[in-house]
Amino acid sequence: MMESDKELSAMVQELWEKDVNRLQPGKDYRISLQGKAGDAANNNMDDSDGAGSPLFTFVDENIFKKETFLAFISLLDNYESDTGVPEIVTPEEEAENHKFLETIIQSPTMKTAHKYLVGKRLSPEDPTEFKKQLYTIWFELYARRGSSRPDSSGFEHVFVGETRGGRTVIGFHNWIQLYLQEKLGHVDYKGYSVNAKSPQPDENKHILALQFSWKDGFKPKGSIFIGVSPEFEFALYTLCFLSSPNERVKVQFSYYDVEIVCHHYNQKHIGTTYPVLLKYQKPT
C-alpha cells in the first residue's frame, strides 16, 4: 500500500467507527442474495435474471426517521432521471439540499472528515464556506457527456441514479434509493455479481456488486454499500474526492479491503464514485 493510502485508510476507519447510524445486517435489515446474475453481455435484462425475489426482505424503517436519513430521502424525488433532460431546481429543492448539508455536517462522521480536510488545507474551516464547497462538489449542475445543457450533478448520479437513452442505468450506487425503489416496484434485482478478483458475497457484508433493472433501464453491474448511513458515504466520497488525485484509491477498514472509484468532472464536481470490494477478512 502507498503511504497516502495508509493515511486515508486510518481516516476511513475512523469514519466507520463513528458511523453511529449504520444498520446491523440480520438485525436492522436482511437481504436475499439468491443467484448469480448473468453476464448480460448484450444488456439483455431478460437473459440474466438470477433472482426471482427482491433483494431486501426486511428493513427496520424506524432508521429513516433519523435526521440525516430524513434529509437524504427528501432529495431523492428532485431529479429527472434521463440524461439530456435539463434539471430545473426549484427554490424548495434548493432549500432541501441546504437542509441536508446542514444536517450531515453536524454528524460525527462529517465532522471527522472536515477536521482532516482542514488540517490538509483542502477545505475551509468555516462551516458556511465548507457547505459551499460541498454544494459545488455534489449539487452544482453540469452537462453530462452527450448533453449540451446542465442535466446532472454528483448527488443525482451517485445517490439517485440516471438513465441514458432510457435503456441504460448509470450511477445509482445507494442502498436506500435501491430499497425504496424496489419497494415501489421500480427496481427488479437480477442477482449478485462476482469476478476473479472479488470475494464471494454474503448477507452480512456491507458491500455488494449486483445487477438490476430500474424502470425501463438496465444496470448490468453496479456496486454499493449496504446498511451504512448517508453521512458515512457522503464523508467517505468527499474525502476521497478532495484528498486523492487518483481516480481509484485503495483503503483498508474494518474487515474490508476496498477500492474507491472516484471520477472527477472538471476538477470541481464528482462525476461518479462507488466502492469495489477487493478482499474481506472474516472476523474470527
- From 114, 190, 205, 219, active-site residue: 219
**Residues β-bridged to residue 68:** none
Which among 173, 190, 205, 269 is annotated as catalytic?
A: 173
> Is residue 213 within a helix (H) or strand (E), and if so which, with residue range?
strand 207-214
> Residue 146 and residue 151: Cα distance in Å, rounded?
10
Is 173 annotated in the active site? yes
C-alpha cell at 171: 450511477
Is residue 190 part of the annotated active site? The answer reads no
Q: How far is CA 105 from CA 15, 99, 243, in A?
A: 13, 10, 18
Q: Catalytic pick from 18, 157, 250, 269?
A: 157
The conformation of residue 150, written as its DSSP 8-state character, comes to -
Residue 183 appears among annotated catalytic residues:
no
Is residue 111 left, alpha or beta, with left meaning phi > 0 and alpha meaning psi from -120 to 50? Answer: alpha
Residue carrying C-alpha cell 445517490? 159
- Which amino acids are annotated catalytic? 157, 173, 219
